[in-house]
A and B are shown apart, each in its own frame.
Chain A
């Protein structure tokens, strides 16, 4: 163990020279430490709000200020497990909404939430990605095919359907949640 001692001695001298010291909270798991770091680095537009529910759960509120969905207020649940950021957070839409990339159960088709997730991405990427879905819904790889077809064929009709759904209306026999932003 001699080498170890000399290594540590060197380190200690370095520390004394730099005058830095440890200020870690010693109770957190690595996933929590990482999420704390992500939270500190958040840089969000006013249209995205984040609320901490507990250590592993966050509530996201998105209020788009332009595009098809600009009058709505949309809530998402983000669950983070102990393997973050190796595992991507689980994101669900808490409202039943009319959207090409979100199904009626709240499942979301967004590349960075699944196949393109990587530990170099962070919480900010996910939140901005979610907002982007409302500004530019993707009609070519849809989860909700019917709404995507409407978006491709008739943008005005799609716009009307979105408004109606936000107001709690029904489309094709499906009633949507009232999510109008007052």
Chain B
């Protein structure tokens, strides 16, 4: 059986580099509920390296689990959940390794016992998945620098939070990887264009000149007529377009049409996008000689300083109407310029790479091609379980989303305190906890009470559909973190399954 064939539909998204990151990942799941099981299922199917379930040995399968948990059978009644989950999840894909760790106490006791905490080899996991924001777990995730995903669903609502010090993505899969440099053509491009005598060509050849050359020549013409300036205003751009229009020899010259339709793009050019300038400004506080990402970014900055403020060229050109030959020549000109820039970049990197970290050529090529769209974010480890942090992050009033978030926080407080989920009979207790939490800084509203009631109406149980949605979202985000491709959530999400809508927040530190 070929892995390429089995994983074909996902390799088209993250290629073998992403797949190899996935196959080398090891995930720890703490006492999984339905959402976590859904999440891990969606990682096992595409071929995760391994997963381990950590749970209390007394957490046994009960009658009620049979009614809503897909991952167990009748004959599993009375057995430890972790064992059965690991076994049954493993059925989905034998490429994936699995393990379980059973602890003797419940989690409330566990997080209060340093010996217990230290008995776990946390460092052997790349990612931890938990349903609750145990303060000790968050601290541990920060101090040991292990990414942590918190996800949970109760009733119709779901939430997801990512803890990771820095998110650094090179392959953001932005579709706009073009960098054509028409406003400031490099010598080889200019020479090729100047050698073409556009106006004395036969129609047959005239209609096959790639539109980039037409645009470049029209710019030169415009500058000749306008003291070397480039078109800025709408009117000036229209004049520029008129030049191209007038050069058209026959109504059906598609290359001239392409030159016209694509002409606005030329003028929206920025040498270095704002996001990359901001990234450059963060080099000093983040640079470490053993951190590949920052080493590459520092080299990139130095490259732009040596290179008239330009990033290395991506070497890509769009498809355009022209003969095969004309297109191939133009493609080679950009390709050669890319090779030159890559060489210059390598030299700079070599100088800065004092620890001789190993970079494959593919890695550098990928970095340069994506240099315009690198993504970086710093995430917060702050607890949101106090009213001032709540106000800072979600505002001073209770609207519909805030009420959902507040309900979550209150139920989480209850759970961490009593080690069990509240039922409908605990409604008044929850209101009391809410009052304590809000400290009169926010007024409880009737809407909030209604949302809280909706939460515990079914005794805080998970609905299969909602846990599957939030588990699906969580697994997408975790896949992005693991493959180090695509931009992940930054960093908190709430799902409202009543209205099928979501809202994102960035938690402040």
Contact = CB atoms under 8 A, between A and B. Distances in A.
Contacts of A136: 251-252
Contacts of A152: 202-204
B interface secondary structure, majority: loop
Where chain A touches its partner, the secondary structure class is loop
A140 B202 contact: no
B252 A138 contact: yes
A162 interface: no
B213 to A, nearest CB: 16
Interface string B229-252: 000000000000000000000111
A167 to B, nearest CB: 27
Contacts, number: 25
A136 B321 CA distance: 20
Interface residues of B, number: 11
A149 B252 contact: no
A142 to B, nearest CB: 9
Interface residues of A, number: 8
B177 to A, nearest CB: 22
Contacts of A148: 204
A14 interface: no
B198 to A, nearest CB: 14
Contacts of B204: 139-140, 148-149, 152
B23 interface: no
Interface string A131-153: 00000101111000000110010
A1 to B, nearest CB: 18
A149 to B, nearest CB: 6
B256 to A, nearest CB: 9
A136 B202 CA distance: 19
A147 to B, nearest CB: 12
B202 A139 contact: no
A136 B251 CA distance: 10
Contacts of B208: 140
Contacts of A140: 203-204, 207-208, 250, 252-254
Interface string B174-213: 0000000000000000000000000000111001100000
Nearest to B254: A141
24 contacts: A136-B251, A136-B252, A138-B252, A139-B203, A139-B204, A139-B250, A139-B252, A140-B203, A140-B204, A140-B207, A140-B208, A140-B250, A140-B252, A140-B253, A140-B254, A141-B207, A141-B252, A141-B254, A141-B321, A148-B204, A149-B204, A152-B202, A152-B203, A152-B204
Interface of A: 136, 138-141, 148-149, 152
Interface of B: 202-204, 207-208, 250-254, 321
Given A139-B204, A140-B252, A148-B204, 9 more contacts: A140-B203, A140-B208, A140-B250, A140-B253, A141-B207, A141-B254, A141-B321, A149-B204, A152-B202
